[in-house]
Amino acid sequence: MRVAYAASVLPLVLCTLQACGGDDSAATAPFVSSTDAGRTSDASPFDAGAAEAGFAPATAGTCGATTSSVRIGSTEQGSLLEIPDEGVGGVVVDGDALYVAGWRNEKPDGGADGSTASVTHWVAKFDATRTPVWQRLVGYASHGRGIALDGTGGVIVVGSQAGGLFTSDAFVAKLDATNGTETWHKTFGASGDDLATAVATKGTTTYATGQFDGTVSFGATSLTTTGKIDVFVATLDTDGNATAAFKVGGANDDVASSIAVAPDGDLVLGGASSDGMHFDGWVAKYSTAGELRWNKYLGAMKTGQIFAVTTDTGGSVYVAGIIDGKATVLKLDAGGNEHWAKLWGRGGTSGDVSPSSIVVAADGAVLVGGEAPSTYEVDFGGGPIGGAFEPAAFIVELEPSGKHRCSRSYPSSGPYLTDGGVQYTGAGTTAVAYTSATSYVAAGSFAKTLDLGKSPMTSAGDYDIFFGDFAR
């Protein structure tokens, strides 16, 4: 039996990182979203996909047509649990071009590119038809996380790569947008595991964030963790030189998942902090020198994490994450004050609605992508969708006021894929972007067969990548 759970417009507790207490049900303020030089390779991690039969998509509200759908993936089977054979870390749009950062799970004995590592990080440029223009490997034993374009025609990517025998280092790399040639590649590592999770740019300046363990140097600035894991924010110039850095963290673990540059030049961060037992999501605004402007916890002693943040031209902040098992999308003003929020899913430990990406259109509309649960339907505001017994990729567009405009759900279908005794199934959207005033693109991973409303696509490996272009 399927049960529909409605999207909520509810009070949500927001409090400072220094003090957060009470019960969120008692809230009184309601509101209505690389490698090293010489290792870059021209080897392509892609082969084209063929169309096969699958489930039909489900939509609610006023949704435009699907204009194209493309599968990208290899025939190699993955070797690590919980890591897609092909995965997307982020996308960015420039005109008709789509730039994508992701990772590929190789065979244990090395893939076609000659790497002996199990995971490689790639960056690719696709044209308007989503045909690859160029592809580059930028790291072995690495995961691609974030991607951005700078003011010099450069593609900036961040992630992690092997540091020591059992540790990883954070990296930031710049590629030429025209041909994918690597311009520079910088690594930053402490004694433990270090990871760059997100990147943003303003003009020729790059801002990277992530987590570190121990003491790490960014140019002349050295940072040392207060707890086990802290957040770093580093500023790099056009040549990749670290010119400044600061840390965020307390006595326990702190992580950052997203970064955005506000119109006033300040930085907005989203992440989570541990109290020693569980994580709470937070969003904060800092100057580039590390001066705290404001910060907010989302929820009161509830398990959660912020996965994505962005800003609009007026300085408002948009946040996507999970709070107490519910997908949460909210809008704050430039001072951190609440405007509206959306909560989706049934919450608790069984809630499975997970938003992973959020962007804002020039007209103020908000686009969210993520993964919907397999066990129950979810009402994003236009009626219940999903619940097809398969985790589904979802895309939701909201009006500037937070009102529902369109929601789409795309489950995978077909026999389970089995690799090493592990069954692979489902789909999820990991990145969304507006491509024009009347269209947007979504990217993610899927197993088995997926139909975005055009020709059904079947994965060649455990998980393949999908791109879908949609009219608003």
At 347 the pLDDT is 58
pLDDT exceeds 80 at position 305: yes
pLDDT exceeds 50 at position 40: no
At 353 the pLDDT is 86
Measuring CA to CA, how many Å separate 313 from each of 316, 318, 417, 449? 8, 12, 45, 39
Rg of the chain in Å (alpha carbons): 21
pLDDT exceeds 90 at position 234: yes
At 303 the pLDDT is 66
Taken in order of first residue, the domains within the chain and their CATH numbers are 4-33+40-471 (2.130.10.10)
At 346 the pLDDT is 72
CA-nearest of 39, 40, 34, 36 to 181 is: 40
At 416 the pLDDT is 59
pLDDT above 70: percentage of residues in the chain: 76
For residues 18 and 213, the model is more confident at: 213
Give the confidence band of 374 by pLDDT, cuts at 50, 70, 90.
confident
Quick one: average pLDDT of 43-48?
Answer: 38
For residues 156 and 39, the model is more confident at: 156
| Cα–Cα distance for residue pair 20/31, rounded to 1 Å | 19
State which amino acid sits at residue 171. F
Contact (CB, 8 A) for 139 and 98: no
DSSP state of 416: P
Quick one: average pLDDT of 160-181?
Answer: 87
Give the confidence band of 421 by pLDDT, cuts at 50, 70, 90.
low
pLDDT exceeds 90 at position 130: yes
Measuring CA to CA, how many Å separate 84 from each of 106, 107, 120, 467? 10, 13, 12, 15
Mind listing the pLDDT tens digit for each residue in 252-288?
899 999 999 999 999 999 999 887 777 889 999 999 9
Contact (CB, 8 A) for 248 and 254: yes
Mind listing the pLDDT tens digit for each residue in 78-125?
433 344 578 899 999 999 999 999 887 764 443 344 444 567 788 999
Contact (CB, 8 A) for 14 and 340: no
CA 196 to chain centre: 13
Q: Is 324 left (phi over 0), alpha (psi -120 to 50) or beta?
A: left
What is the number of other CB atoms lying within 10 angstroms of the CB of residue 310? 24
Q: In this structure, what token pair is assigned to residue 111? A: 């893939």
CA-nearest of 67, 146, 99, 86 to 428 is: 86
Mind listing the pLDDT tens digit for each residue in 321-357?
988 778 899 999 999 999 999 999 875 544 578 899 9
Element (H, E) at 341: strand 338-344
pLDDT exceeds 90 at position 8: no
b/e code 155-173 from CB counts within 10 Å (16+ = b)? bbbbbbbbbeeebbbbbbb
CA-nearest of 280, 335, 210 to 19 is: 280
Q: What residues contact 131, with CB distance under 8 A and at least 6 apart?
A: none
Out of 26-30, 219-223, 417-421, pick the least confident.
Answer: 26-30
At 383 the pLDDT is 87
> What are the phi and psi torsion angles at 259 (to 5°)?
-145, 145
At 24 the pLDDT is 29
At 13 the pLDDT is 34
Out of 44-48, 148-152, 235-239, 256-260, pick the least confident.
Answer: 44-48
